[in-house]
Structure 1
Amino acid sequence: MNTSASVFGNVHLGYIVIETDRFADWRRFGTDAIGMHHDALSRDLMRFRLDETECRFLLRRGPAEDVVTTGWHIDDHASFEQIEARIRVHGVPVVEGTAEEAQLRGVERLLRFPGPKGITQEIYTTPVTSSAPLQMLASGFVTGDSGMGHVALTSTKPAQIRGYFNTVFDARLTDYIDETISGVKLKIRFLRVNERHHSIAVAATRGLPLDPIRTRVQHLNIQAATLDDVAQSYQRVHELGFNMALSVGQHTNDKELSYYAQTPSGFEWEVGWNPIVIDESTWEPSTMQGISIWGHLPVGQTITDKLAQFRDGARSLARPENTVPALSGAGIPDD
């Protein structure tokens, strides 16, 4: 097996597994606010759909209040086996998911292996589609060749996380953003595995080994089909009493227009529209100043919220961050 041939372009973010005890709040948030399709499986399991794929978000009952797994759709068996071989050759354990686990995720078969920040990574080749019509408030969401959105993390070891996703998926650096928030300087790295501007974003505090976020992920992103979908879901989030993290704005790098709501589990949920699609023949990484062209202003944030965030950051000093060293190596130095 040639493990060096690139799998870039054959990898797509396919599903997310969230562990929560707040099922009633999540159902209202997902269906009534964001506008997704909901399927109740049992008292302890439910799913959200965005398209014909049977599962995009699997919620299972548990105490984490966090994302616990990301699932990656691999286009073909050759790329799937190549990724598996890469992980095994580095001595990292690979476990085949059970038939029940595959069924819950709406896939025919999956492999599981450790990922950065304790987020399990899973890969699969064949998603199961549903013939049941979508019942959702949104007109639709953009998935397809770009995958279903992106995951954003905060990290004290961003080079190692970039190294991990380069080793496993041949992720490419799209660009950087330098941002200062409340006097804290951040550097954000944006990584792509296909034509989507980024499927993974990694934010790090510059000069301080602090992670100010309690949860494993800082936010999840899904892409709405229309600008009206963004505006209407923004209004529903407000009307239903869910917390808004950032108001509507437009990003400097991918040009996506979006807002950020706070989920019942505490991490943020970005609903965006119309990000740019990368042209591999012309794209060159660059560094931009500031995350937004306009908007994305904090909503309802108090000094108490800020103090809590700094407390979380201080706690992170005593909490070692696992980047799966066998797959991240020494990391990739910044360009």
Structure 2
Amino acid sequence: MNAPVPGGPSVFGDVHLGYLVIETNRFADWRRFGRDAIGMHHEDLDADHMRFRLDQQECRFLLRRGPAEDVVAIGWHLDDHTAYEQIAARLRTHGVPARAGTSEEAAQRGVERLLRFPGPKGITQEIYTAPVQSAESLHMLSSGWVTGDSGMGHVAITTTKPALMHGYFNNLLDARLTDYIDETISGIKLKIRFLRVNERHHSIAIGSIRGLPLDPIRTRIQHLNIQSTTLDDLAHSYQRVHELGFHMALSVGQHTNDKELSYYARTPSGFEWEVGWNPLVIDENTWQPSTHQGISIWGHTPVGRTIITKLDQFRTGARSLARQEIVVRQLSGAGLADI
């Protein structure tokens, strides 16, 4: 399952979650959420674009004006041009259309160059090397965020075709299975696969309903995660989210598999934003995939969830039956079966 794709060396370990592109018309709310609640560095580029930083890399979140209210692109930072060309070759070999980003797109993302191509659920995937380092000092409420070799965090995506999505990231990035979580919520059985591309426990989580081709989440991602440097930073951001009136999705808790302490806030666009602290780091020499029962050891209690919320999710799931989920079959292959 974890072998390199035929025709080239593995890029595992050379790949890091680098940035996300969010399309929204709620700039004022997002500015308050990202800068004043979560505590990131904020920068307005122009009337239609703004960015958030976590570190010296010029861009970690690019927000562009538009109606999607969703994450529309994921940027993967590659260590060198060799890995970049290896992935570009895979796209050509599998017949996946790709185009070079324009100089304007590269500048907005704070990178020298990028390649864009289709991804599952219509989320454009982008690869780049050599991110631009900002000379401007960070101005943020947090004391820092964990990025570096681990990348900047993770994304969680719900799908009706988990094996195909797993196959896509395995064939593209040599993603390795870390573990599974089985969970039952309101009588519905969920299975979540956690995939890593480096030492971080997971950069991608793939959630699905067992036995039913339903997707109850409106947005393309269910949540994204960033990692606080200190427990105090996590606690202070949690307090600011409450004080500024943003909705909390899940209270503070600890996960069963990566042991991360975290909370989940609801963003102005509707998907969730997890702020975490101190997840375990994978030792490739000893790690073996396993299955955990339940998402949390303790906490992560739903906040403000009502029968109306559950009905809305049911309606979204029912509508997904009539909607064909976007897949990229050239890279997904036949998918990867459960262990």
Where does residue 124 of structure 1 map in the other structure?
128
Distance in 2 (alpha carbons) for counterparts of 1:282 and 1:188: 22
1:182 Cα offset (Å):
1.1
Where does residue 277 of structure 2 map in the other structure?
273
Distance in 2 (alpha carbons) for counterparts of 1:47 and 1:295: 32
- Deviations 1:190-210 (Å, cap 9, x if unpaired)? 000000000000000001100
| Overall identity of the aligned pairs, in % | 77
Distance in 2 (alpha carbons) for counterparts of 1:311 and 1:165: 29
Q: Secondary structure at the match of 2:141?
A: coil
- Deviations 1:144-172 (Å, cap 9, x if unpaired)? 00000000000000000000000000000
Distance in 1 (alpha carbons) for counterparts of 2:145 and 2:134: 16
1:43 Cα offset (Å):
1.1
Distance in 2 (alpha carbons) for counterparts of 1:122 and 1:131: 24
Q: Secondary structure at the match of 1:237?
A: helix
User: Is 1:50 matched up with 2:54?
Assistant: yes
1:183 Cα offset (Å):
1.0
- Deviations 1:49-94 (Å, cap 9, x if unpaired)? 0000000000000000000000000001111101000011111101
Q: Secondary structure at the match of 2:164?
A: helix
Among candidates 106, 115, 118, match of residue 119 of structure 2: 115
TM-score, structure 1 normalization: 0.99
Where does residue 184 of structure 2 map in the other structure?
180
Where does residue 23 of structure 1 map in the other structure?
27
1:322 Cα offset (Å):
1.4
User: Is 1:88 matched up with 2:120?
Assistant: no
TM-score, structure 2 normalization: 0.98
Among candidates 61, 64, 68, match of residue 65 of structure 2: 61
1:119 Cα offset (Å):
0.2
User: Is 1:168 matched up with 2:172?
Assistant: yes
Distance in 1 (alpha carbons) for counterparts of 2:181 and 2:244: 33
Distance in 1 (alpha carbons) for counterparts of 2:158 and 2:185: 14
Distance in 2 (alpha carbons) for counterparts of 1:181 and 1:37: 36
Matched to 1:42, the amino acid is D
Distance in 1 (alpha carbons) for counterparts of 2:135 and 2:267: 29
Among candidates 243, 260, 267, match of residue 263 of structure 1: 267
Matched to 1:233, the amino acid is S
User: Is 1:296 matched up with 2:267?
Assistant: no
Distance in 2 (alpha carbons) for counterparts of 1:42 and 1:94: 28
User: Is 1:147 matched up with 2:151?
Assistant: yes
User: Is 1:74 matched up with 2:78?
Assistant: yes
Note if contact 1:261-1:270 (Cα within 8 Å) is conserved in structure 2.
yes
Q: Secondary structure at the match of 1:63?
A: coil
1:252 Cα offset (Å):
0.3
Structure 1 runs of 4+ aligned residues shifted over 4 Å read none
Where does residue 327 of structure 1 map in the other structure?
331
Note if contact 1:3-1:85 (Cα within 8 Å) is conserved in structure 2.
no
Among candidates 233, 236, 239, match of residue 232 of structure 1: 236
Where does residue 137 of structure 2 map in the other structure?
133
Distance in 1 (alpha carbons) for counterparts of 2:175 and 2:222: 20
1:3 Cα offset (Å):
3.6
User: Is 1:213 matched up with 2:254?
Assistant: no
Q: Secondary structure at the match of 1:315?
A: helix
Distance in 1 (alpha carbons) for counterparts of 2:78 and 2:72: 20
Among candidates 199, 213, 221, match of residue 195 of structure 1: 199
- Deviations 1:110-159 (Å, cap 9, x if unpaired)? 00010000000000011001010100000000000000000000000000
1:4 Cα offset (Å):
2.6
Matched to 1:189, the amino acid is R
Matched to 1:45, the amino acid is H
Distance in 1 (alpha carbons) for counterparts of 2:65 and 2:83: 33
Distance in 1 (alpha carbons) for counterparts of 2:135 and 2:333: 44
* Cα RMSD, aligned residues only: 0.6
Note if contact 1:3-1:82 (Cα within 8 Å) is conserved in structure 2.
no
Distance in 1 (alpha carbons) for counterparts of 2:59 and 2:82: 24
Note if contact 1:3-1:83 (Cα within 8 Å) is conserved in structure 2.
no
Where does residue 3 of structure 2 map in the other structure?
none
Distance in 1 (alpha carbons) for counterparts of 2:170 and 2:133: 30
